[in-house]
Amino acid sequence: MPPTFAAPLASRPLRSAIAAACLLAGLALAAPAALGADAPRSLGMQGRWTLDLARSDYDEATLGPKPASAAVEVERDDGKALGLSWSVVDADGRRHTESFEAPLTGRSAAGLMDGRPMRVSIMRMSERSILITTSLDNGRWDYIVAYLTDAGALTFEEASFAPDGHQRQMTFVFRRAAP
């Protein structure tokens, strides 16, 4: 004969409350997956973008002459990671490039800046915006908030910090290039 207990381990109302809390917690964890909320969504940035210098905020007194051109090519935008190449042709005709692919979780990944290795991380901030952080071995850090302002504009708000203390800020506005 199994042993019997003179007093229950927990009162009936307490057991009911615990069971209800467990049920609600299980539903809360299962509901987003059932509704598709866990499915990653594209940021809507895929494609080629060209610089709209008239809409950009570029301080020539601080940064030197405005670039002759700039373009961004977003090769991967699947809601899990972002892969892009960026090139700027300065006023003297020199091309500067960056390329990388990184998950939207903030995990660090490798990239290239003007052929030099760099570290990059990307953190999704909202449905249509991200924070990109890049760093070079020489101690330079760039922080870029990239977001879609409308169906045809991609904005990069950038702040750069050099090891010598030099700082620069700029806002580049890009328009979606015709296919």
| Per-domain residue ranges of the chain | 47-176
For 93, the token pair is: 């005709």
pLDDT of residue 149: 86
pLDDT in tens, 55-91: 999 888 878 889 999 999 999 999 999 999 999 999 9
Structure tokens at 85: 């190449």
Amino acid at residue number 124: R
Q: What is the pLDDT of residues 82-98, one digit of tens each?
A: 999 999 999 999 999 99
* Reported pTM: 0.75
Q: Is 20 helix (H, G, I), strand (E, B) or coil?
A: helix
Backbone φ and ψ of 38, nearest 5°: -80, -15
pLDDT band at residue 12 using 50, 70 and 90 as cut-offs: low
Strand partners, 155: 147, 173
pLDDT digit string, tens, across residues 102-160: 999 999 999 999 999 999 999 999 999 999 999 999 999 999 999 998 767 999 999 99
To the question of domain 47-176 being in CATH 2.40.128.20, the answer is yes
Residues 6+ apart with CB under 8 A from 103: 80, 81, 109, 122
Amino acid at 145: V
